[in-house]
């Protein structure tokens, strides 16, 4: 039976690959095994070598905190072969999973296809957007998703899933870590390109005014509790600027945690749990992380809190 080590030996896979530059936090250690996939066949065939190795599908790394020890299994990243956007005359938009969401929004705007302009503000990939049911400014991926093509990496099975199959709720789907979205089909509607571009400019302007930029953070750390905003809650306790090591709560938006250049991922991890505990103890609101942790972290002293 072929193993991942056999694939490394034959050049089909790389080992000990730094993935720091593939995340917006620019933190964390290497991938034990790394596959830059260029086509569906490579992904379908990897299953027979996977055994029990853990899998991390890495999109544009804009919602991820990778451990300083790296990821102990296989990291799969989709390459240029998965970057494309096709539009048909009925307004159906088919996009490869490695396409960036802002690029998708711009392509649709140029073609006069409205409804996907909210993606301009989300620096992830189409695959990551589906997995996270990403959204902002009153829209979510599930509002526009018609189907996603998914490969079960362990079984090597490919299939199309509808939003209902994916059980998409706020920043959640039922996709497992070893299932990879390779493309997605969205609906759109005909609209004037100038009107769509004006909406995108307004979204961009609002984000520049209210949020830090897209580097050294992973967007919102916590999900918003129903009817409230995690940023408002954290800010209400005066926690902007709270620091652990090289990580601090942004002074611009309290639900964004910023890492100084070259700090430990562990600092960000500890800050997440420290802020959660403080909010929980003072307000009895137990925030749920939206960011995804990959690899293993030292247990934080604050992590055990409810
Ligand atoms: C400045 C900033 C602003 C942000 N604003 C928003 C916002 O307004 N709304 C919002 O929802 N999010 C926001 N985010 C978070 C992030 O951009 C989204 O969650 C995005 O959908 C993540 O996509 P990604 O490709 O970067 O995924 P990654 O960060 O690489 O991965 C996130 C999760 O998705 C999985 N994944 C990635 N690609 C695939 C794939 N092809 N198939 C299956 N699973 C996959 C990963 O395994 C991981 O579990 C923001 C982030 C930043 C840095």
Centre of ligand 1 from the C-alpha of residue 6, in Å: 31
Pick the CATH number of 4-80 from 1.10.3720.10, 2.70.70.10, 3.30.2270.10, 3.30.43.10: 3.30.43.10
C-alpha to C-alpha distances, 186 to 81, 93, 151, 180, 256, nearest whole angstrom: 19, 5, 18, 17, 29
**Equal fold, 4-80 vs 83-210:** no
Domain regions of the chain by residue span? 4-80, 83-210
Provide CATH code, domain 83-210: 3.30.465.10
Is-catalytic flag, 171?
Answer: yes
- Residue whose CA is closest, atom 9 of ligand 1? 135
CB 112 within 8 A of CB 46: no
Is-catalytic flag, 290?
Answer: yes
The pTM of the full predicted model, rounded to 2 decimals, is 0.97
45-99 pLDDT, tens digit per residue, is: 999 999 999 999 999 999 999 999 999 999 999 999 999 999 999 999 999 999 9
Mean pLDDT of 158-166: 98
Encoded tokens for 99:
């396409």
- Residue whose CA is closest, atom 10 of ligand 1? 134
pLDDT tier, 213 (very low <50, low <70, confident <90, very high otherwise): confident
């Amino acid at each position: 039976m072929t193993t991942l080590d056999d694939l490394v030996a034959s050049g089909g896979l790389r080992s000990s690959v730094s993935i720091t530059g593939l995340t917006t936090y620019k933190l964390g250690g290497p991938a034990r095994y790394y596959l830059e996939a260029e086509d569906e066949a490579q992904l379908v065939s990897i299953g027979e070598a996977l055994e029990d190795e853990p899998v991390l599908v890495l999109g544009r790394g804009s919602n991820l905190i990778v451990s300083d020890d790296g990821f102990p299994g296989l990291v799969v990243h989709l390459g240029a072969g998965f970057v494309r956007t096709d539009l048909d005359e009925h307004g159906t938009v088919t996009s490869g999973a490695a396409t960036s969401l802002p690029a998708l929004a711009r392509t649709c705007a140029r073609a006069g296809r409205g409804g996907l302009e909210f993606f301009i503000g989300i620096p992830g990939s189409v695959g990551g957007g589906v997995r996270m049911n990403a959204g902002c400014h009153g829209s979510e991926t599930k509002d526009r998703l018609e189907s996603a093509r998914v490969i079960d990496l362990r079984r090597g099975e490919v299939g199309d899933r509808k939003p209902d199959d994916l059980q998409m709720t706020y920043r959640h789907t039922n996709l497992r870590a070893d299932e990879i979205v390779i493309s997605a089909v969205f609906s759109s509607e005909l609209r004037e390109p100038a009107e769509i571009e004006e909406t995108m400019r307004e979204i961009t302007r609002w984000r520049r005014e209210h949020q830090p930029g897209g580097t050294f953070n992973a967007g919102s750390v916590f999900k918003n509790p129903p009817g409230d905003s995690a940023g408002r809650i954290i800010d209400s306790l005066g926690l902007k600027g709270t620091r652990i090591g090289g990580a601090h709560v942004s002074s611009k938006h309290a639900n964004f945690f910023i890492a100084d250049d070259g700090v430990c991922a562990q600092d960000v991890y500890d800050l997440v749990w420290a802020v959660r505990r403080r909010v929980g103890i003072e307000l009895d609101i137990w925030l749920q992380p939206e960011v995804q942790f990959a690899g293993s972290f030292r247990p934080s002293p604050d992590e055990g809190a409810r």
